[in-house]
Structure 1
Amino acid sequence: MVDWSGGNDTGKSPRQDAIWACVARLGRAEAPQYLRNRKVAEDWLTQLFEAEIAAGRRVLAGFDFPFGYPKGYAAALTGKSDPFALWNWLENRIEDSPQSNNRFDLAGEINRQFGGRGPFWFNGLKRDVDGLPRKKTDYENSFSERRLAEKRAKGAFSCWQLGGAGAVGSQVLMGLPVLARLRRRFEAAVWPFEPLDKSIAIVEIWPSLTLGAAPAGQIKDAWQVREVARTVSTLEPDALAEMLAVDAPEEGWIFGLGHEDRLRQASAQPPRLTNDCFALPPGVHWTPVREALVLLQDRLTPVTGSETMPVAAATGRILAEDVVAARSNPPLPNTAVDGYGFFGGKAAGVHRMPLVEGRAAAGDRPGLVPLGSAVRILTGAALPDGVDTVVLQEDVTVSDGQIAFHGPIKAGANTRRAGEDVVQGDVALTQGARIGPAQAALLAASGVGDVSVRKPLRVAVLSTGAELVEAGNTAALGQIFDANRPMLLEMVRRFGHEPVDMGRVPDDRDALAARLEAASKAADLILTSGGASAGDEDHVSALLTEAGAMTLWRIAVKPGRPLALGMWSGVPVFGLPGNPVAAMTCALIFGRPAMARLAGSAWEEPQGFEVPAAFTKNKKHGRTEYLRARIRDGQAEVFASEGSGRISGLSWADGLVELPHDAAEIVPGTIVRYIPFASFGL
């Protein structure tokens, strides 16, 4: 996406009102490029287009100026209503260099053909130009002041105005000749005049259609092209096709006009994962658990969109951005006890002070207490002016309108400072935090009404295998009941995500492909069990391989080992082992933190505890092992069998014992790491 300029070279330092361009792919925007003049910009675009075509990719290139003029102008000037005739006419007459150009003189020449009072106006030169008015005084225009697109796009400027705030007239005169050369050189297709069936597709954009002011400290032009590029690169093919379905054969059109809400929704979407995000480094065969977790942490990014909702309704959601306290907590100094307030500390001995009338209670507006006097004050009340210290009521006697108490007492005793919890303007909670009861209380106390939160991560759960039968039905010999799906659906729910039940699929590749396609439309992540290895009936890994987006992670872990990771129609797929014990273990160790990251949360490490073992084991070097375990009498017991088919061990256990990658000799009393299921959110 390109923000154009009709002016001269803007110098070495990035600045506003220059040419800015930004490239984005799958919702990931590169750093905006500062292009100081049109020669530099045209060279940069040429190199970009050549590189993308050589790589076999297509480019949607947006430019922020009109591609056509109001109806009738092209024919009046060139004799043809074809907008490209006008492009070529301008290319043959515009003279341009980094320090000067002839746009004002050419505009005056055009105006003289139509009577000398329009359609162009504004002269930015010190000298007068015959036929070009400096202001819109005695201005005459035989054509429409605006295209239909400008009439519908609130705030859009007329292409006849050559200067002043927001004017695009000079950009059109200086931009169309460049587009004419790029179109010819790359055989590019230009929207909406031509079908976009070429490697380079050129469209007209107007960033202000959906974007407002840039964040503080950022150059608006640079920020806008980045946001537009990022947003457009997230659009699905159907949405893109709908926005491009426009009939404007002469005037052109603004991309996205009439679809502003959809663009705003798309702008809130995070970048998609790339197809190679699961690729392992060359030479990796058996990946240690810690290394696999680091790889996942580095390569996964949030895939959920965001929405704004009241704090009271946002519990369980993940913050999409930092939340700044709207008010200090407490907003004013207040008392922590029931008692009597006055100013200053008191030394040892008996102190007597007159008591003012009334009292200060929670919710009262602070009053004024004269120096040397005291006031009755109740817990939570804001300290009146003239009060900074409170003595407990049980330490005080009251008689004849005065109080008496023994010192010493320090200044500030029994009070809370304003903002000692949270200060207005400070970050109360950071992006990625999940809002629980305590977080909701903090936000409410900080005066925050609405928060931007991530939409729930939708996790599709799918079981594969011809041997599976739904529990409750009749199972033939050789068949088993599907234990994984109900287990994984409940795990997803307890992890705080939205489970989507995609049922069971037999060992049929076409049926599995259709179900994966349905799951990709219904969810943000697909979780399968079974078929994740490299055997004849391992159709999950085979289909992902055919799709060109599969990596079989052979992880040095027991139980588990094969973990098929890939992409299906842009949605990440986690192929878990079919064995329920291995499926649950891999879902806990790898799936849970990955889901949290995809949902927009921080990477989640389960809390483990060092406890003495109540078992004996000779562990070999080369893989991390997870044993079903529970705590009894302060020691970790493990299930009698390590067999992955013993599902009963999962319900027997309260957690897992993690044995490290290296060899270990475990005897009763050896300290081991125990991770309770509660640390995983179960």
Structure 2
Amino acid sequence: MPRLFDAYVIVDWSAAEGRKTGADSVWIGVMKRDVRFRLSYEAHNPATRAEAEALLRSLLADFRRRGEKVLVGFDFCLGFPEGTAARLSLEGEPWAQTWKFLGQNVVDKADNANNRFQVAAKMNRLMTDEARPFWGAPARQAQRWLSTTKPESLGDIPEYRRCELATRKLGAKSMAKSVWQMHGAGAVGGQSLVGVAVVRRLVEELGPACAVWPFGTGWKALTPADVAPLSVVVAEVYPVLQPTAAEPGEVKDATQVRGAAEAFAKLDDADRLGALFAPPAGTSEADVAVVQREEGWILGA
């Protein structure tokens, strides 16, 4: 039975400032097959995003040298709600131009010091000239264009992408957070800003050997023929969708990356992974177009 991938790398990102390991830090889970196709797993917990980026670059280079195909899942938003690029006056393919904007504006130093709150404030200024849609900052980071608390209204800007709304079936506690939330429990905004800048560099370095789903692949089921020309497929993941029991002493982040990597590998073994890349039944052509061009989707949502 042909599999889509030889390895599955799941990345739980962090916007932490200062070196940090353990809970609420970067975790990278790697599930791969040996020469007998037996699965083995290894976990990495780099102390900084710079170390994580270097490790990912090394891992992907090793897989590529061996001619192996890799699914790389990032647990943060790879896209933004419909209309974000237009509000930023960006011309061209919305997702790619938003990534370019972040690549040009995000500063993330080797010691984890970063300017994510300043970038969020700049985007607010350009999009609305008010403290929205991004919200949530420590008091020391608050300013005219970024508040500590959620505004009463985001105006006509969607709070959620279509994929976050799709996770409502899990219940309110498990619904994926809005990318606009920068601070507080479960906030993913800061991780997304610093994370997209890293992913963009890795994708550009890999060139045509890499595709970002669904932007570069189309929002459709993937087959071995689709993956054949590639070394790496990048996707957005939400490990809550693959619930996993913790091992003794294992922190939640480590459990989640292990569980997601194992789940995708098993689905691939059963020839069921490719179907996860397709839209849910009944998705309109208009929604497909928005997801492919700007919002992206969570694998398995």
TM-score bracket for the superposition, by shorter chain length: 0.7 to 0.9
Structure 1 segments unaligned to the other structure (5+ residues):
258-682
Could you tell me whether the CA contact under 8 Å between 1:107 and 1:120 is conserved in 2?
Answer: yes
Counterpart amino acid of residue 259 in structure 2: E
Once residues 24 and 12 of structure 2 are traced to their aligned partners in structure 1, the CA distance between those partners, rounded to angstroms, is 9
Counterpart amino acid of residue 151 in structure 1: L
Aligned residues: 255
SS of 1:21's equivalent in the other structure is strand
Judging changes above 3 Å, is the alpha-carbon distance between structure 1 residues 10 and 211 closer, same or farther for their aligned structure 2 residues?
farther
Could you tell me whether the CA contact under 8 Å between 1:25 and 1:230 is conserved in 2?
Answer: no
Judging changes above 3 Å, is the alpha-carbon distance between structure 1 residues 38 and 81 closer, same or farther for their aligned structure 2 residues?
same
Structure 2 segments unaligned to the other structure (5+ residues):
1-9, 169-174, 218-226, 280-287
Judging changes above 3 Å, is the alpha-carbon distance between structure 1 residues 194 and 99 closer, same or farther for their aligned structure 2 residues?
closer
Q: CA deviation at 1:7?
A: 1.8
Q: Give the structure with the higher percent strand.
A: 1
Output one character per residue of 1:81-124: Cα deviation in whole Å (capped at 9) or x when no partner: 42011101100011111241111111111112212120100112
Residue number in structure 2 paired with 1:210: 242
Once residues 125 and 175 of structure 1 are traced to their aligned partners in structure 2, the CA distance between those partners, rounded to angstroms, is 23
| 1:156 paired to 2:176 | yes
Counterpart amino acid of residue 18 in structure 1: S
Judging changes above 3 Å, is the alpha-carbon distance between structure 1 residues 80 and 143 closer, same or farther for their aligned structure 2 residues?
farther
Residue number in structure 2 paired with 1:313: none
Once residues 251 and 58 of structure 2 are traced to their aligned partners in structure 1, the CA distance between those partners, rounded to angstroms, is 25
Could you tell me whether the CA contact under 8 Å between 2:135 and 2:151 is conserved in 1?
Answer: no
Taking the TM superposition and a 5 Å limit, the aligned residue runs for 1:92-491 are 92-97=104-109, 98-113=111-126, 114-124=128-138, 126-154=140-168, 155-187=175-207, 188-195=210-217, 196=227, 197-211=229-243, 214-215=246-247, 217-236=249-268, 238-246=271-279, 247=288, 248-249=291-292, 250-257=294-301
Could you tell me whether the CA contact under 8 Å between 1:62 and 1:204 is conserved in 2?
Answer: yes
Counterpart amino acid of residue 189 in structure 1: A
SS of 2:72's equivalent in the other structure is strand
Judging changes above 3 Å, is the alpha-carbon distance between structure 1 residues 45 and 242 closer, same or farther for their aligned structure 2 residues?
same
Q: CA deviation at 1:178?
A: 0.6
SS of 1:79's equivalent in the other structure is coil
Residue number in structure 1 paired with 2:66: 55
SS of 1:96's equivalent in the other structure is coil
Q: CA deviation at 1:220?
A: 0.6
Counterpart amino acid of residue 149 in structure 2: K
Once residues 212 and 24 of structure 1 are traced to their aligned partners in structure 2, the CA distance between those partners, rounded to angstroms, is 15
Counterpart amino acid of residue 258 in structure 2: R
Once residues 15 and 155 of structure 2 are traced to their aligned partners in structure 1, the CA distance between those partners, rounded to angstroms, is 22
Output one character per residue of 1:190-243: Cα deviation in whole Å (capped at 9) or x when no partner: 001112541111011000123267355210101110111112112237412211
Residue number in structure 1 paired with 2:3: none
Residue number in structure 1 paired with 2:172: none
TM-score by length of 1: 0.36
2:28 to 7, 21, 24: 21
SS of 2:15's equivalent in the other structure is coil
Once residues 57 and 46 of structure 2 are traced to their aligned partners in structure 1, the CA distance between those partners, rounded to angstroms, is 13
Residue number in structure 2 paired with 1:66: 77
SS of 2:45's equivalent in the other structure is strand
Residue number in structure 2 paired with 1:643: none
Structure 1 runs of 4+ with >4 Å offset: none
Could you tell me whether the CA contact under 8 Å between 1:119 and 1:140 is conserved in 2?
Answer: yes
Residue number in structure 2 paired with 1:574: none
Residue number in structure 2 paired with 1:599: none
Greater RCO, 1 or 2 (C-alpha within 8 Å, sep 6+): 2
Once residues 80 and 52 of structure 2 are traced to their aligned partners in structure 1, the CA distance between those partners, rounded to angstroms, is 24
Once residues 67 and 137 of structure 1 are traced to their aligned partners in structure 2, the CA distance between those partners, rounded to angstroms, is 24
Q: What do you get for the CA RMSD once the two structures are aligned?
A: 1.8
Could you tell me whether the CA contact under 8 Å between 1:105 and 1:129 is conserved in 2?
Answer: no
Once residues 24 and 107 of structure 2 are traced to their aligned partners in structure 1, the CA distance between those partners, rounded to angstroms, is 21
Once residues 193 and 299 of structure 2 are traced to their aligned partners in structure 1, the CA distance between those partners, rounded to angstroms, is 20
Counterpart amino acid of residue 99 in structure 2: W
Residue number in structure 2 paired with 1:35: 46
Judging changes above 3 Å, is the alpha-carbon distance between structure 1 residues 119 and 213 closer, same or farther for their aligned structure 2 residues?
farther
TM-score by length of 2: 0.80
Q: CA deviation at 1:29?
A: 4.0
Taking the TM superposition and a 5 Å limit, the aligned residue runs for 1:651-666 are none
Once residues 119 and 80 of structure 1 are traced to their aligned partners in structure 2, the CA distance between those partners, rounded to angstroms, is 22
Q: CA deviation at 1:146?
A: 0.2
Could you tell me whether the CA contact under 8 Å between 1:29 and 1:226 is conserved in 2?
Answer: no
Judging changes above 3 Å, is the alpha-carbon distance between structure 1 residues 99 and 67 closer, same or farther for their aligned structure 2 residues?
closer
Counterpart amino acid of residue 131 in structure 1: W
Percent sequence identity over matched residues?
A: 35
Once residues 124 and 167 of structure 1 are traced to their aligned partners in structure 2, the CA distance between those partners, rounded to angstroms, is 13
Could you tell me whether the CA contact under 8 Å between 1:117 and 1:141 is conserved in 2?
Answer: no
Once residues 210 and 226 of structure 1 are traced to their aligned partners in structure 2, the CA distance between those partners, rounded to angstroms, is 10
Judging changes above 3 Å, is the alpha-carbon distance between structure 1 residues 8 and 192 closer, same or farther for their aligned structure 2 residues?
same
Once residues 98 and 162 of structure 2 are traced to their aligned partners in structure 1, the CA distance between those partners, rounded to angstroms, is 18
Residue number in structure 2 paired with 1:318: none
